[in-house]
Amino acid sequence: MEGNPMTAETTLDKVVADQILEAVRSKFDLQSVSDVEIVAIEVDREEHKIRIELSITTSEPPEALAKSYFGLTGKVRSALGKDWHGFFPVITPQFNSNLHA
């Protein structure tokens, strides 16, 4: 691989991405969550961060989602496993309303 190894693009394999998704889904265990997706994952080797952008579609009020968000980082760190233990997950959820008129 050419280029600076500290800033080289790195991706997580599908198994780890699936484990992250399962951790997020289990943490936001709400009746009305109809869809949880990982929009993007970016590994920053220089800063030892993994940026994870989520899309969550739900009809739950923001307050319920905020309560579920507490502790999410720990669950995602566990899902990353030992290969990524030195990296800190930065999780950015985008909540979409699933309200029907």
Domain that holds residue 59: 16-97
* Helix (H), strand (E) counts: the chain: 3, 3
Q: What is the CATH number of the domain that holds 42?
A: 3.30.70.1350
Q: Where are the alpha helices (DSSP H) in 1-101?
A: 14-27, 62-69, 72-80
Distance CA 37, CA 35 (A): 7
* Tens of pLDDT, residues 45-94: 999 999 999 998 888 777 877 888 888 999 999 999 998 989 999 999 88
Count structural domains, the chain: 1
Q: What is the pLDDT of residues 1-20, one digit of tens each?
A: 343 334 334 567 888 889 99
The answer as to whether 8 is a domain residue is: no
Q: How far is CA 82 from the centre of its chain?
A: 17
